[in-house]
Amino acid sequence: MRIGSLADAAGTTRRTVRHYHRIGLLDEPRRLSNGYREYTIDDVIRLMRIRWLADSGMPLGAIAAALDRSPTDDSDVVADLRALLAGIESEQKALAHKHARLSALLDDAVEHRALTALPRGAADTLAAVIDAADDTDRETLLRERDLLEVMAISGTVPTSFFETMTATLADPGSRQNYLGILRRFSALEGRDPGVAERDIDSLAAELTSLLDVESLGTAGQNAESSGPFGIDDIVPDPAQRAVIIRATARLRTTESSRSGDTR
């Protein structure tokens, strides 16, 4: 049997057969007097087994051990197969996550909505508030939306934080209070934290009282250390950053007090 017939029988190519020869996965056959390789049914069987394992996802480097293993020592093969399955399961989870995200993005595109990492409820509520805002508030809200999206992408805040944000913006009274805080927060940019101490402390107190304690508290803890961004990256201005850090500290103190309250 010539190499072309061998390749056809196993559903592969001559180039692949030659590659298997080079890496020692398939032994070189004997050569006839005219120099041609002469393959046998044993070569066909070996090649088909190699292709079957390769198509199953086994790397070529592990196939030789799988085919030539000793019946009394399967430890390497077992370890290889377990690692391969673990890798596939990890890929399946990643693909499921991508599928869910792409499905949501497709829905947004079909409905002519902006593509955003924010939860849909938060995105829609923010969009409505931005549309209804005047020019000054709109600029502040657009900046706030961008920062919230960075937080969503980086994973520094839990979903419950965005649920709290949505509820706050959906309520007319809370929304006006929040817009007032945003205006003052925006006005802090560029100011010396020492000079703006009173405003920083006042804003931190108001922010703490306005938003849900548990949600913002968890968000504050995560924002300092989780994900690819820290609080310095998300809020680069020192005075504004001081507000977030101080609000976080207040919230942690509040949560500790609640946890220790056994009444």
More confident residue, 73 or 90: 90
Residue 263 CA to residue 258 CA, distance in Å, equals: 10
pLDDT mean over 95-103 = 95
Give the count of beta carbons closer than 10 Å to the beta carbon of residue 182. 17
Give me the pLDDT at residue 22, please: 94
pLDDT by residue (tens digit) across 29-57? 988 888 888 999 999 999 999 999 999 99
Residue 238 CA to residue 119 CA, distance in Å, equals: 28
Q: Which residues share a beta bridge with 46?
A: none
Task: Label residues 150-160 b or e (16+ Cβ within 10 Å = b).
Answer: ebbebebbbee
Give me the pLDDT at residue 21, please: 94
Q: Quick check: helix, strand or coil at residue 31?
A: strand
Give me the pLDDT at residue 178, please: 85
The pTM for the full model equals 0.60
Band of the pLDDT at 256, cuts 50, 70, 90?
A: low
SS3 for 118-157, per residue?
A: CCHHHHHHHHHHHHHCCHHHHHHHHHHHHHHHHHHHHCCC
pLDDT by residue (tens digit) across 200-246? 999 988 888 876 544 444 444 444 444 445 667 678 889 998 988 88
C-alpha distances in angstroms, 165 versus 125, 130, 207? 9, 14, 11
pLDDT mean over 155-165 = 77
